[in-house]
């Protein structure tokens, strides 16, 4: 699974407060966990089901500046939730979302994209067990799945407090939504973020979120790009 812009924006916008204990459900190779650590989390627990992704996450963590703040766990989240001895200030998740769709023959891609092993009801139940009373539950879903998930989360005592819809260009419809849930009722806000202002050029909003994470926004990269544009 390639790292897509939607997922990186989702990670860059994560509501991490300095000192938070963060849980990354279905961490994959650990990209969102690394971003949470860079945003100031005190400790990030990355729970990943597949052996290959778990091993890659460990390598990525060990090669990062935040290795002391990161922990990879090879386990399904249902078992982890039943035995965990702590609660978390923030739970982040980019979950599998396909239901009853034709499946790829690639086993890792199948686990990442289809929710056979992590149905929404299981994800919500696990979040209920693991989230602190003041914590936030933050996840990325296709727009078409957001309403169904929000309804199920509401029935379990979660309140949708913020939703950001991502669209590629100003003429596109939004395809994915970053949803933030709380255990405390609050007014819900919805924003729309346009990722690109033109071909391969990020919008000002996207650049503001992504610039701490992507090398293309470093001074050396910008200088190199400017040189190419002037040749």
User: What mean pLDDT is predicted for residues 3-13?
Assistant: 95
Secondary structure of the chain in the HEC alphabet? CCCCHHHHHHHHCCCCCCCCEEEEECCCCCHHHHHHHHCCCCEEEEEECCHHHHHHHHHHHHCCCCHHHEEEEECCHHHHHHHCCCCEEEEEECCCCECCCCCCCCHHHHHHHECCCCCHHHHHHHHHHHEEEEEEEEEEEEHHHHHHHHHHHHHCCCEEEEEEEEECCCCCCCCEEEEEEECCCCCCEEEEEECEEECCEECHHHHHHHCCCCHHHCHHHHHHHHHHHHC
User: What mean pLDDT is predicted for residues 205-230?
Assistant: 75
User: What mean pLDDT is predicted for residues 13-26?
Assistant: 98
CA 176 vs CA 52, 75, 121, 168, 192: distances in Å:
27, 27, 20, 10, 10
Q: Is the pLDDT of residue 2 over 80?
A: no
Over residues 117-155, the pLDDT tens digits come to 689 999 999 999 999 999 999 999 999 999 999 999 999
Q: What is the pLDDT of residue 1?
A: 59
Q: What is the pLDDT of residue 218?
A: 82
CA distance 210 to 5: 9
CA 6 vs CA 127, 149, 191, 193: distances in Å:
22, 19, 15, 11
Q: What is the pLDDT of residue 225?
A: 47
170 lies in which domain range?
5-230
CA distance 132 to 21: 10
Q: What is the pLDDT of residue 229?
A: 44
Over residues 20-67, the pLDDT tens digits come to 999 999 999 999 999 999 999 999 999 999 999 999 999 999 999 999
Over residues 93-126, the pLDDT tens digits come to 999 854 554 545 545 444 444 345 689 999 999 9
Task: Using pLDDT thresholds of 50, 70 and 90, give the confidence band for residue 68.
Answer: very high
CATH number of the domain bearing residue 181: 3.40.50.150
Task: Using pLDDT thresholds of 50, 70 and 90, give the confidence band for residue 179.
Answer: very high
Domains in the chain, number:
1
């Amino acid at each position: 699974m390639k790292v897509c812009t939607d997922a990186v924006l989702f990670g860059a916008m994560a509501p991490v407060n300095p000192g938070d204990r963060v849980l990354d459900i279905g961490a994959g190779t650990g990209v969102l966990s690394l971003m949470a650590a860079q945003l100031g989390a005190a400790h990030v627990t990355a729970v990943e089901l597949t052996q290959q992704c778990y091993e890659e996450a460990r390598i990525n963590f060990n090669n990062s500046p935040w290795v002391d703040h990161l922990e990879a766990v090879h386990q399904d989240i249902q078992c982890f939730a039943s035995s965990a001895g702590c609660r978390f200030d923030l739970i982040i998740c980019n979950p599998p979302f396909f239901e009853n769709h034709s499946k790829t023959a690639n086993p890792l891609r199948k686990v990442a994209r289809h929710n056979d092993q992590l149905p929404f009801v299981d994800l919500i139940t696990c979040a209920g067990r693991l989230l602190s009373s003041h914590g936030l539950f933050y996840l990325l879903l296709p727009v078409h799945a957001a309403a169904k998930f929000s309804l199920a989360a509401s029935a379990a005592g979660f309140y949708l407090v913020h939703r950001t819809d991502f669209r590629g260009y100003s003429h596109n419809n939004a395809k994915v939504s970053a949803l933030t849930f709380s255990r405390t009722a609050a007014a819900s806000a919805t924003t729309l973020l346009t990722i690109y202002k033109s071909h391969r050029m990020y919008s000002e909003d996207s650049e503001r979120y992504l610039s701490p994470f992507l090398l293309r926004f470093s001074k050396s990269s910008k200088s190199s790009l400017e040189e190419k544009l002037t040749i």
